[in-house]
Amino acid sequence: MTPGQRFKASFFKSLPIAAGVLFGLLVVRPPAFLQALGWPLYAIAGFLLVVFLVGLVVMLVAANLPSKLELREREGSLLPGAVGSLVSNLRALGFVDVGPPRELATTPPAMLIAFTHKDHPIYATIFQPGHRATAPTFEMWSVLAGGRGSLTTFTTVGALTAPRTALRQIFPKAEPSEAFAKHKKALSALRARGISARAVSASTFEDDYRAAFFQLRGEFFRRPIRNAFVTLWRSLSGKSAELGLVTERPHAAAAIDELASS
């Protein structure tokens, strides 16, 4: 990590703490000219807090979904224990490494390990956030034929909104074997509707990953304020309408019908 990257990481990490202290002082020990406001002071403080949180979400998304995506080969071959365990589990399911681990130029830089399955049109990616105390996550995803959409299986609740035909299904804390079985089940159900997934390979991974990355970024910044509220709510509540098999959720039916008819 360069000095500039370290500064950005420290800035975004300390900003919420500093803001919390500031708002706490504003409410508990306000300056004399604010004390004269009485109870409206708390309403003003609450409003400013919401404005700050929404603005912070937009800043954090901009930092972690940069307009220019850099994927660099990661220096060193040592993998953290939890990451190494996920790698072994995915390989045991038939996933094959797509080159060496990569460094994703987010704030702070994160680690990305990519795989393709030897028998199915499925990518898998392991993501290790830059904050070492944060556990790694993995996901499995397929590109629907014709680039009409995608299917992604998560094991954690995704906070960011996705485009309409970017189908998602979430199974909290699922092991790789369970997530793999659920992903194949959803692909089979989509195929029965005439929606197939195209073949994937090591040579197509980076282009597909970049396309998905910028699609997600574009969707967020199309309506940043609204999406910031959604992201904030999902992050705080841990809830999402994307829980469960996508082909069995009523709210996803319209998107599937659209894919089937296109």
Token pair, residue 177, equals 């074997």
Return the domain boundaries, the chain. Answer: 3-64, 81-261
Q: For residue 27, give the 3-state DSSP assignment.
A: helix
Q: Residues 103-132: pLDDT tens digits? A: 887 777 788 999 999 999 999 999 988 766
Question: Looking at 29-38, 92-101, 106-115, 146-155, which range is the least confident one?
Answer: 29-38
- 0.85 surpassed by pTM: no
Token pair, residue 185, equals 């089940």
Write down the pLDDT at residue 96: 97
Please state, as a whole number, how many other Cβ atoms lie within 10 Å of the Cβ of residue 238. 11
Answer yes or no: are the C-beta atoms of 241 and 250 closer than 8 Å. no
Q: Residues 187-241: pLDDT tens digits? A: 999 999 999 999 999 999 999 999 998 988 988 898 888 888 888 787 777 778 8
